[in-house]
Amino acid sequence: MRLLITVAFIFIAFAKAYSQDITGVWKAVDEESGIVKSHVEIFEKDGKYYGKVLKVLDPEAPEKPLCISCDGDLKDAPIEGLVIINDLEAKGKVYKNGTVLDPENGKSYDCKIWLNEDNPDLLMVRGYILFLYRTQTWVRLK
């Protein structure tokens, strides 16, 4: 009986840890309009976390959207395939010390992300400069 309880406890612990993973594909939802703008894949590489645009879904976007407002090497880069979240580090339940690029204006912001405590299928994505910030709620794509 103890073995059964121990196995059940381990299974529940692993299931809970897996369900709180930020990696995967997320629907990026505009916080003002509620429109799904894109699908973004969050992935881990060498202990840091990144986000890459897989598909642009914005109905107002051109067929092959480019990062027209970006600078340097990203100028006119295709938005699909563009890494917009860079170098996030896990700090407990929050991932921070990275940046997020807004392809609509070409600007990069400090970034932190975390899972909604009440619903691990919601990802809170915050871009900020000093005390000014904007937070979007992204939805896990299943």
Helix, strand or coil, per DSSP, at residue 73? helix
List b or e across 70-98, with b for residues whose CB sees 16 or more CB atoms inside 10 angstroms: beeebeebebbebebbeebeeeeeebbeb
Whole-angstrom CA distances from 15 to 12, 25, 52 are 5, 19, 26
pTM of the model: 0.83
Mean pLDDT over 54-58 rounds to 94
pLDDT tens profile 29-51: 988 888 899 999 999 999 999 99
Cβ pair 38, 54 in contact under 8 A: yes
pLDDT category of residue 95 using cuts at 50, 70 and 90: very high
pLDDT tens profile 102-120: 999 999 999 999 999 999 9
| pLDDT exceeds 50 at position 14 | no
